[in-house]
Amino acid sequence: MLTHVPSRSPVIVAAQQVRPHTTYRHEAFFWRNSAQFLAGTVPFIVEGLAADEPVMVAVVDSQTQLIREALGPDADRVHFVDMAELGRNPAKIIPAWREFLDAESSVGRPVRGIGEPIWPGRRPEEILESQFHEALLNIAVEPDTPFWLLCPYDAERLPPSVIEEAHRSHPAIRDADGYRGSITYAGRTHIDTIFTSDLPELSGTADEMTFSEGLRGVPLFVAVRAHASGVPADEAAALAVAVQNLAMSSLQRGATQGTIRVRNEEHAVICEVQDEIRVDDPLAGRKAVPREQRNGLWSANQVCDLVQFRSTTAGTTVRIYHWI
């Protein structure tokens, strides 16, 4: 028996018995054209809706339109999120999934999601952090949570290196040939490898200052340089506050002093806050916490275009970007 999606879409999907899921499943889905994309996503959504499972779809707008057209009236039962907005800073994606799970699966109700954090045209820095995000998803959700997450990848237009990395961060793989386990999935080891690695070196020179208790001069140091690089005054001030809060967090975790660097790249103003204290939690800044417990890293993730967070034996570095 075949079930047709609405006539506006050319996709035809095989009707399947609804497969119950009682644990966390994190899968990569490789597609090469619109027909394959719809054949992999629409049945997944329809199956969930048939089982009365809440479904959240976070993809870029062009893919949202394809799915909406294929679902027809059933699209109104799906929670759509624009991933280009949510995932601008990939560190904001896990909190969004957690919020969805807390709202819809708090009593063990199965839920489904489709999340596309990497798409053609993303900057290299954004891809790197999206890859870190994908690895972190393997520890961000408890194993007994009935959450089925499907992550589409455009295998036709994304570089082979991105597809290879997706194999390392997803336990299972789907594509036009079927479903299989990933033989290169690396689990927690992969997370630790990324988190404890140095960030890529940046070109050019940086203006630099050290900070210690009191943080005197930090906001002015950052704001003046950001504004001189073409950042509007109000945005430069907000960037300065973010850096000051990150420096304060360094002191709160035990650093006696640290270093701030500001670079003016062609595409961004980049600020770094570095100290000698090691952090053990790669999910820091991505967990929902009460307002009074929010620190500089959480705040930076909410307001900055991109945040990179790494901690090695030499200490911790937070690098934030303001696109220009």
What's the per-residue H, E or C state across the chain?
A: CEEECCCCCCCEEECCCCCCCCCCEEEEEEECCHHHHHHHHHHHHHHHHHCCCCEEEEECHHHHHHHHHHHHHHHHHCEEEEHHHHCCCHHHHHHHHHHHHHHHCCCCCCEEEEECCCCCCCCHHHHHHHHHHHHHHHHHCCCCCCEEEEEEEECCCCCHHHHHHHHHHCCEEEECCEEEECCCCCHHHHHHHHHCCCCCCCCCCCEEEEECCCCCCHHHHHHHHHHHCCCCHHHHHHHHHHHHHHHHHHHHCCCCCEEEEEEECCCEEEEEEEECCCCCCCCCCCCCCCHHHCCHHHHHHHHCCEEEEEEECCEEEEEEEEEC
Residues 163 and 249 reside in one and the same domain: no
Residue 19 confidence (pLDDT): 63
The band of 214, judged by pLDDT with boundaries at 50, 70 and 90, is confident
**Would you say how long the chain is, in residues?**
324
Q: Which two tokens stand for residue 52?
A: 């009365």
* pLDDT reported for residue 290: 75
Q: What is the pLDDT of residue 291?
A: 76
pLDDT digits (tens, 9 = 90+) for 78-96: 999 999 999 999 999 999 9
Residue 2 has pLDDT above 60, yes or no: no
Q: What percent of the chain has pLDDT over 70?
A: 94
Looking at the structure, tell me whether residues 188 and 254 fall in a common domain: no
Do 22 and 50 sit in the same domain of this protein? yes
pLDDT tens digits, 229-268: 999 999 999 999 999 999 999 999 999 999 999 999 989 9
Whether residue 15 has pLDDT greater than 50: no
Q: What is the pLDDT of residue 4?
A: 37
Residue 300, domain member (yes or no): yes
List of residues 6+ apart from 173 with CB closer than 8 A: 27, 28, 29, 30, 166, 167, 179, 180, 181, 182
Model pLDDT, residue 313 = 94
pLDDT for 66 equals: 98
Distance CA 224, CA 91 (A): 27
CATH number, domain containing residue 20: 3.40.50.300
Specify whether 290 is located in the same domain as 312.
Answer: yes
Q: Between 290 and 317, where is the model more confident? A: 317
**Which pLDDT belongs to residue 143?**
96
Dump pLDDT digits (tens) for 51-73.
999 999 999 999 999 999 999 99
Check whether residue 289 and residue 182 sit in a common domain.
no
Angle at 130 between CA 276 and CA 191, to 5 degrees: 55
Domain boundary residue, one of 195, 224, 241: 195
pLDDT above 60: residue 110: yes
Which residue, 195, 217, 243, sits at the end of a domain? 195
Q: What is the pLDDT of residue 273?
A: 98
Contact, 208 vs 259, CB < 8 A?
A: yes
Structural domain tally of the chain? 2
Q: What band does 3 get if pLDDT is binned at 50, 70 and 90?
A: very low
Domain that holds residue 299: 207-323
User: Is the pLDDT assigned to residue 10 strictly greater than 50?
Assistant: no
**Contacts for 259 with CB less than 8 Å, ≥ 6 apart:** 208, 209, 210, 211, 272, 273, 274, 275
Report, as an integer, the average pLDDT of 92-107: 93
Q: Is 232 in the same domain as 171?
A: no
Residue 201 lies inside a defined structural domain of this protein: no
Q: Which of 134, 162, 195 lies at the terminal end of a domain, its last residue?
A: 195
| CATH number of domain containing 252 | 3.30.565.10
**Of 30, 41, 51, whose CA–CA distance to 157 is shortest?**
30
Assigned domain for 202 exists: no
pLDDT of 183 strictly over 50 = yes
pLDDT at 6: 40
Percent of residues, the chain, with pLDDT higher than 90: 88
pLDDT of residue 181: 98
pLDDT band per the 50, 70, 90 thresholds, residue 18: low
